[in-house]
Structure 1
Amino acid sequence: MALIQKLKSVIQNLLVFLKTIILLWKTSRGTFLFILLVDTSIGLTIPGKLWVWKEFIDAAAEILSVPSTSFKKMFFWLSIHFSLVLFSSVLGRVSNFVQNVFSSNLNKTITEKISEKTMELEMKDFDNSETYNQIQKSSDQSLNRSISILQTTVNFINNITTFIGIVGILIFLDTSIVLLCLVSSIPMFYISIRILNKWFAVFNERFEQNRFVKHLKTILITNHYIKELKLSSSDRYLTNIILEIMDKYINEDKKIRKRFLFETSLVDVIDNAIMYFIKILVVIICLNSKLTIGSLTMYVTAIDNLKNTVSNILTLLSSAYENCLYMQSIFQLLDTPVEKKDNKREFPIPFQRIEFKSVSFCYPGTEIYALKDINVVLEANHAYSLVGLNGSGKTTFIKLLLNLYQPTEGEILVDGININEFNRSSLFENVTAVFQDFIQYPFDVKTNIGIGNLENIDNIDRIISAAISSGANDFIINLPNQYDTKLKKEWSGSVDLSLGQWQKLAITRALMKPSAVLILDEPTASLDVIAEHEIFMKFQEMRCSRLCIMVTHRFVNTRQVDNIIVLESGKMIEFGNHNELIQLKGVYARLYQMQANSYDNVNNSDFREKVTI
């Protein structure tokens, strides 16, 4: 059983190796072949230099024994040896140059493949921690491991070429010497494989914890978090957690290294003893055969070169095995099946209604319903407010509406057609959303806004118009370089914004794209009262041309929407306009009254409305 498992592992790693070679080939075929050709030539120079040096030694010995002999022969072989050394050196530098250029192209190829695959993954995939592990492993390991496999392949060809040449020399002396050199290298190769397997197992066991440590380190140097870390002294607490984890791993590593130190040292002693035995055997054979001093030197040197070459080949095989273990992650990621959604019908524009029909939903990996038996119709050109306490299912409702997840039960219909029947990219093209956890891009202001509509990302007139509509223009014109001001303090020459200003940019970004559906998920949580009022007025203007949905905890403006959806524990418990729900005297009326009562000194009659519960 163990043998079968090992065989499967070997086959799996062989497939990974072949996939990596294909990846290298696709990156640049011509460069890949050129590197292999150059390093094959370098490998051929080693046995060539051995033979030429033997001729040089014999020529020198002849001059010593017969002083009248001409120096021409000796200098001839010396010049040939010099030429081979120079040729090998130049090829080596050329190979390094080409490999560095190839490495940059490979980095681009791998980054592109990982990014494209990440874009294809479903939202549910990102609810699985293993997805993050795979992406992180792929990003961290793939480039170095791919380059290492390239170098391993190149060096393997180089050493195989050298091996063949040296064996060709030694075979004339004694075949058994070649066999002894080969056999003596096997024990160290076996131990190397065991060590690599152990460290790979350790790598996998620790990976998520190491990712956690990396995340804590990021928190410690993130500008947005520094003030809280300083005030609470939690930076020391986080540092101690990082150091404790590192200390634990250091102690574990010591035990592992000690165990392998004894085994490798014992094998080294045996290996060196065998090598000296082989050299003595070579000397005896040369003396008995009355060979020249040049031949003796060549064969002894050839033994060292053969041993080093065999060791290199086995080390390269070990390295290839190790690299293939780590390369598994990127191919597992790239081979993750995804449902192709771009060959379906186009999202209908205009549409009349979107209907949730007996929709229930559980997040992947749980059996707890985030939404349960939702039945509601959303009419085009109407405005809706989605309200409820934290955890009531508001954001989940939005994710299903956007087809980021599919319902566990029931269906979502667009004009009577299941939303899954539509091309997802065409759906996204006609939806604009501002989420409560919006992105703060490390770009300049105009790019932060323009990225909301990539077709107009450089249209400064449209960008300014959107900023004026959202009110963001008022603070942008006071920035050092206005719309060209770089943002996020982590980067040189940049400034940072308040959370409210960032939120205005996110809203401005949403206004860049004309869409049939507008979703605002807590869009005014960080805005002042005036800015919030201005945004809601803009929301009111847009309701006549699109379906508008606002998720909110604030009830100050819910009177103005057509209907309010009230969620509680994943269920829709109330539906209607403000007046209807106030008269119903249910959950909405109670929450509204609680919020109204918190405005002790506000004279606005909207917040003085009396409700009897």
Structure 2
Amino acid sequence: MLKIKRAVSLVWDSAPGWTAAHVVVTTIQSTLPFALLYIIKLIVDDIALSLNLVDKTQIFSHILFLLIDAGIVMLLTHFLAVIAQICSETLSQRVTDYMQTILYKKAIEIDLEAYESPHYQDILERAKWEAPHRPKRMLDNLTSGGQGAVTLIAVLGLLISLHWGLVCVLIFAAMPTMVVRLRQSKVMYNWHRHQTEVERKANYLGHLLLGSQPAKEIRLFNLGNMLIERFARIRQQLFREKLAILHRQAIFQLIAQGCTGMVMLATYGFIVHQTIYGRFQLGDLVLYSQAFQRAQGAVQSLLASLSGLHENNLFLADVFEFLSLQPTTLAPAHPKLVPRPLQQGIVFRDVSFQYQNSTRKAIDGINLTIAPGEIVALVGENGSGKTTLAKLLCRLYEATAGTITLDGIELQHFSRTDFYSQVGALFQDFTCYQFTVADNIWMGNVEQPFTYERIERAARQSGAAATIQRLPQGYETLLGKWFKGGEELSGGQWQKIALARAFLRDAQLVVLDEPTSAMDAHAEEEVFMRFRELMRDRSALLITHRLATIKMADRIYVMHRGEIVESGTHDRLMALGGTYAHLFETQAKNYQ
């Protein structure tokens, strides 16, 4: 009952006016068939009466009046059907849009680490399937059930006057179908829940086949047919399983409907018998037979609505399961303000982190300091934990053990919004927004007013200004090829745009993860020639494999298998002759 109430509340919140209109129209619709049925009964009675009259003028006038009444009821029925369709379709669209917005809001609340969990992906996938239409379906079940109840109450008196046992017959006849539907709902729900990951695999293959990013490799390596075959195998497996369920359900439905049909035929035979032996008039025959038919439909509609409520209640559990998720890092009750400017800097003390579903620590026992205005560099082989450490610093993850402090205050004591406002970042997997150039850069700080002065300054700082000037509409050029008129950039050009995004945020801490990996040597040199000036009064964490570019760093930390194995300036580390010196000399040989 609680889920039903919550679902109706979601529908009401999405569009109160359209919801009220939908309920009112469907309620009125439920009374019109009975009114028409009674008018037809009166017409048939008058026709039967006229057979024994010589002067049929008066009776014809009365029949004509009843026909006009019937016409008005039919016109009103058709009019309300059109209005009901408009209300239903409009409400469905509003509910879909509203539920999508709720899902998006919840998704951005969840910790980044959750996206790396298959369990979370299953919950998210099921919520995406069910959220757009289940609340509206539940409202339809309620209104349809209400219509059935109103119709049933309207004809109940007639059926009782004929024989009280007819009501029992109606309910008894509908019960087999009801039981079968409830069982079907449970079986289908369990199957869908069990097959979520399989469905996601099929969707992933579809993403690979239709996506623009994998398109080059799929064609170059001739992967298309192989991926299509895998997709077809998964879909065939799902098809066979679902067909087997439907086959079993069809057998049960036939048995249930057969039982119901036999009971209905016996009842109609009883009504005909009563008419033949003179207990009913001809109009009564029409009235009672139609009333019983209407009552049968009303009972079936009511029970179908109840089984539909049961089914939608099951599937809505997936939506509410997603909406009930909470971030593992809750906002502090009394958040502290981020110091401006920094006085002591950032300190990692014995920090460790382990990903979900992983048996090893990504970083272990890290001790690291970034003083105010200091440029710190991280180097090491792939998989050594550099990017994970950067994400911990940006508070995208929370440390499994140890503390990270800013001016002696643990990061958990700051509100995320306030802390993020003081962090500018560029990661390796930065996003290429299919927006204009100006929008792409403005994404770095949407809390600030959109001004071309700030955007152009950030573009100059990142080295993107020259590229932008050559574009057809300059800063108003649409980037990417998803939409008409878009201009595609090279990897290095996109990286400059993303770097401008990081520079736009007037942050005290800048985190750059391979910020020039896609740039050519000349562009990279331009960026790092200005880097020291750009980082004035800012603390910076720089991750790069290009060791020649980090000689400017005030301090260098060398990571290996999640631990810091060396630290110091470039000259000190070279004199030490350890891991850093080996990496630097190995790269240097490639340029000799």
What's the TM-score, normalizing by structure 1?
Answer: 0.93
Task: Tell me, yes or no, if structure 1 residue 88 matches structure 2 residue 77.
Answer: yes
State which of 96, 102, 111 in structure 2 corresponds to 1:113: 102
> Aligned-pair distance for 1:456?
4.3
Q: How has the CA–CA distance of structure 1 residues 342 and 545 changed in structure 2, closer, same or farther, with 3 Å as cutoff?
A: farther
Task: Tell me, yes or no, if structure 1 residue 31 matches structure 2 residue 13.
Answer: no
Q: Which moved more, 1:307-316 or 1:280-289?
A: 280-289
- The AA in structure 1 aligned to 2:320 is F
State which of 242, 259, 283 in structure 2 corresponds to 1:270: 259
Q: Which residue of 2 aligns with 1:237?
A: 226
Q: Secondary structure at the match of 2:197?
A: helix
Q: Distance in 2 between matches of 1:105 and 1:429?
A: 34
The 5 A counterparts of 1:170-569 are 170-288=159-277, 290-338=279-327, 339-341=330-332, 343-351=334-342, 352-456=344-448, 458-569=450-561
- Is this contact kept in 1: 2:454–2:504, CA < 8 A? yes
Task: Tell me, yes or no, if structure 1 residue 141 matches structure 2 residue 130.
Answer: yes
Q: Secondary structure at the match of 1:515?
A: coil
Q: Which residue of 2 aligns with 1:605?
A: none
> Aligned-pair distance for 1:510?
1.0
Q: Secondary structure at the match of 1:376?
A: strand
- The AA in structure 1 aligned to 2:259 is I
Q: Secondary structure at the match of 1:369?
A: coil
Q: Secondary structure at the match of 1:356?
A: strand
- Is this contact kept in 2: 1:456–1:462, CA < 8 A? no
Task: Tell me, yes or no, if structure 1 residue 78 matches structure 2 residue 70.
Answer: no
> Aligned-pair distance for 1:343?
4.1
> Aligned-pair distance for 1:34?
2.6
State which of 578, 582, 587 in structure 1 corresponds to 2:574: 582
Q: How has the CA–CA distance of structure 1 residues 324 and 274 changed in structure 2, closer, same or farther, with 3 Å as cutoff?
A: same
- The AA in structure 1 aligned to 2:148 is N
Q: Secondary structure at the match of 1:579?
A: helix
How many residue pairs get aligned? The number is 587
Deviation sequence 1:567-604 (CA, Å, 0-9, x none): 1001111110000000111100000110101113xxxx
Q: Distance in 1 between matches of 2:238 and 2:388?
A: 40
Q: Distance in 1 between matches of 2:136 and 2:506?
A: 45
- Is this contact kept in 2: 1:451–1:457, CA < 8 A? no
Q: Which residue of 1 aligns with 2:152?
A: 163
Deviation sequence 1:381-401 (CA, Å, 0-9, x none): 010111110110101111111
- Is this contact kept in 2: 1:476–1:483, CA < 8 A? yes
State which of 50, 59, 64 in structure 1 corresponds to 2:37: 50
Q: How has the CA–CA distance of structure 1 residues 544 and 467 changed in structure 2, closer, same or farther, with 3 Å as cutoff?
A: closer
Q: Distance in 2 between matches of 1:60 and 1:495?
A: 78
> Aligned-pair distance for 1:560?
0.7
Deviation sequence 1:392-431 (CA, Å, 0-9, x none): 0101111111122222221111122212111121110010
Q: Which residue of 1 aligns with 2:587?
A: 595
- The AA in structure 1 aligned to 2:256 is V
> Aligned-pair distance for 1:202?
1.5
Q: Which moved more, 1:320-329 or 1:62-71?
A: 62-71
Q: How has the CA–CA distance of structure 1 residues 250 and 153 changed in structure 2, closer, same or farther, with 3 Å as cutoff?
A: same
- The AA in structure 1 aligned to 2:197 is E
Work out the percentage of aligned pairs sharing the same amino acid: 28
Q: Distance in 1 between matches of 2:572 and 2:407?
A: 27
- The AA in structure 2 aligned to 1:427 is F
- The AA in structure 2 aligned to 1:111 is Q
- The AA in structure 2 aligned to 1:346 is L
Q: Which moved more, 1:574-583 or 1:320-329?
A: 320-329
Q: How has the CA–CA distance of structure 1 residues 365 and 224 changed in structure 2, closer, same or farther, with 3 Å as cutoff?
A: closer
> Aligned-pair distance for 1:287?
4.0
Q: Which residue of 2 aligns with 1:607?
A: none
- The AA in structure 2 aligned to 1:161 is V
Q: Which moved more, 1:423-432 or 1:458-467?
A: 458-467
> Aligned-pair distance for 1:448?
1.0
Q: Distance in 2 between matches of 1:257 and 1:424?
A: 49
**Structure 1 unpaired stretches of 5+:** 1-13, 601-613
Q: Distance in 2 between matches of 1:442 and 1:60?
A: 73
Q: Distance in 2 between matches of 1:226 and 1:23?
A: 40
- The AA in structure 2 aligned to 1:588 is Y
Q: Distance in 2 between matches of 1:383 and 1:505?
A: 22
Q: Distance in 2 between matches of 1:65 and 1:389?
A: 106
What's the TM-score, normalizing by structure 2?
Answer: 0.96
Q: Distance in 1 between matches of 2:505 and 2:411?
A: 22
Q: Which moved more, 1:469-478 or 1:39-48?
A: 469-478
Q: Distance in 2 between matches of 1:458 and 1:478?
A: 22
- The AA in structure 2 aligned to 1:37 is V
- Is this contact kept in 2: 1:342–1:425, CA < 8 A? no
State which of 25, 48, 65 in structure 2 corresponds to 1:61: 48
> Aligned-pair distance for 1:340?
2.7
- Is this contact kept in 1: 2:125–2:196, CA < 8 A? no
Q: Which moved more, 1:233-242 or 1:111-120?
A: 111-120
State which of 128, 148, 152 in structure 1 corresponds to 2:141: 152
> Aligned-pair distance for 1:104?
2.9
- Is this contact kept in 1: 2:95–2:133, CA < 8 A? no
Deviation sequence 1:547-569 (CA, Å, 0-9, x none): 01111111011211100011100
Deviation sequence 1:321-343 (CA, Å, 0-9, x none): 22222211221122223423474
Deviation sequence 1:528-553 (CA, Å, 0-9, x none): 00111122123211232100111111
Deviation sequence 1:142-182 (CA, Å, 0-9, x none): 11112211222221111211111121221211110121011
Q: Distance in 1 between matches of 2:225 and 2:185?
A: 36
Q: Distance in 1 between matches of 2:237 and 2:439?
A: 45
Q: Distance in 2 between matches of 1:301 and 1:424?
A: 66
Q: How has the CA–CA distance of structure 1 residues 67 and 200 changed in structure 2, closer, same or farther, with 3 Å as cutoff?
A: farther
- Is this contact kept in 2: 1:518–1:549, CA < 8 A? yes
> Aligned-pair distance for 1:513?
1.2
- Is this contact kept in 1: 2:100–2:131, CA < 8 A? no
Q: Secondary structure at the match of 2:551?
A: helix
> Aligned-pair distance for 1:20?
0.2
Q: Distance in 2 between matches of 1:495 and 1:64?
A: 84
- Is this contact kept in 2: 1:386–1:566, CA < 8 A? yes
- Is this contact kept in 2: 1:516–1:547, CA < 8 A? yes
> Aligned-pair distance for 1:64?
2.7
- Is this contact kept in 2: 1:400–1:406, CA < 8 A? yes
Q: How has the CA–CA distance of structure 1 residues 514 and 284 changed in structure 2, closer, same or farther, with 3 Å as cutoff?
A: same
